[in-house]
Amino acid sequence: MTVLIGAAATVATFATPASAATSALNEAAGPATLAAAQQKLDTALGAAFAGSWLDTNGRFVVGTTDAGRAAEIRAAGAIPKVMRHSTAELRRFQSTLDGRTAGLPASVAGWYVDVAANDVVVSVVGGDAAGRAWAENAGVPVRVEQVTSAPRPLWSVVGGQGLYFSGGACSVGFNAYDDDDRYVITAGHCTELGGTVQGVDGTIGKVAESSFPGNDYGTVRVTHSDVSTPPRVDRYEDGTDVRIEGADVVGVGGRICRSGITTHWQCGRVEALDQTVNYGNGNVVRGLTQTDACAEPGDSGGSFVSRPSSGSGTKLVQAQGMTSGGSGNCRTGGTTFFQPVKEVLNRLDLKLEKD
């Protein structure tokens, strides 16, 4: 539902000759060409400029408060449209709202300039009376738009970042999903702590599966809608996040890297596959991969991936597994073991989040 408050926009579209329509700028011209045309007309029209946009047919439209500038706009390849408010006026209206945030009702979800409609829109959750009153008392013409829910900050669960249980801290391995839910995969000796699990920016969900000893994997079901689960692994100070494109196994002698909250990004080589490891106290785990990439407490559950290529640009890697345990440290070196992720995906019928 939309309610107009203040002066409504007055618009008129100029008829465009058929010959001009065929040469008019449209979406196919590409962002760079359209941006250049917009900048040129903004400068030329000055105070009479009233914004630009693509209409529903992808044609480039430019607004103006001066009907006498129509030929100039058409000559530049755009479709002219007369508007009540200039871009400068709309920005002033928006700036007035920006200065009224003290005591802002929670039901006011935000405001923006609707350039094609030539007005400022205030979004109010459920048409709340307090939110509407705030808009009506703004002292500038606005349009109230009813929305169904308030916005919320979104945050991502990224491989190698912190995963916090009531009894300790581990690291995120990989994100996965099935037909119904999304999951975070980590180490089983972490998920055996059970309960509600936190990430770096809030609650993720509760432990869904846990297997340790014998195996060392577990999952957390993502139950909070403000959590996104991208196919990424944090490289910390070593560079931008790498992105997962699959789960092809790196063989013995192959280069791998791992990420975790304690020692961040560390690299090495695969030394053995399908290893049985005795962690003591009857905790024997089978089917692990041995590497010489160091790790320390807190890195458990974190991502092991194929080593990314050198150079700049987005790095695509293959998911290998989740840090299980090891010996040594990252000052003198050590040995680590990871639980292959493919086994987890197959056992739990999950699909890996990937590019």
| C-alpha distances out from residue 297 to 44, 55, 278, Å | 63, 57, 17
Strands 227-228 and 155-156: parallel
| Whole-angstrom distance, CA of residue 329 vs CA of residue 331 | 6
Residue 60 phi, psi (nearest 5): -85, 115
Burial class (CB within 10 angstroms; exposed 0-12, middle 13-18, buried 19+) of 221 = middle
| Whole-angstrom distance, CA of residue 50 vs CA of residue 86 | 4
Residue 98 phi, psi (nearest 5): -60, -30
Q: Where are any strands of DSSP class E within 18-137? A: 49-54, 60-64, 79-82, 108-114, 119-125
Burial class (CB within 10 angstroms; exposed 0-12, middle 13-18, buried 19+) of 90 = buried
Looking at the DSSP bridge assignments, the partners of residue 59 are 26
Q: Which residues are catalytic?
A: 189, 216, 300
| Whole-angstrom distance, CA of residue 276 vs CA of residue 337 | 10
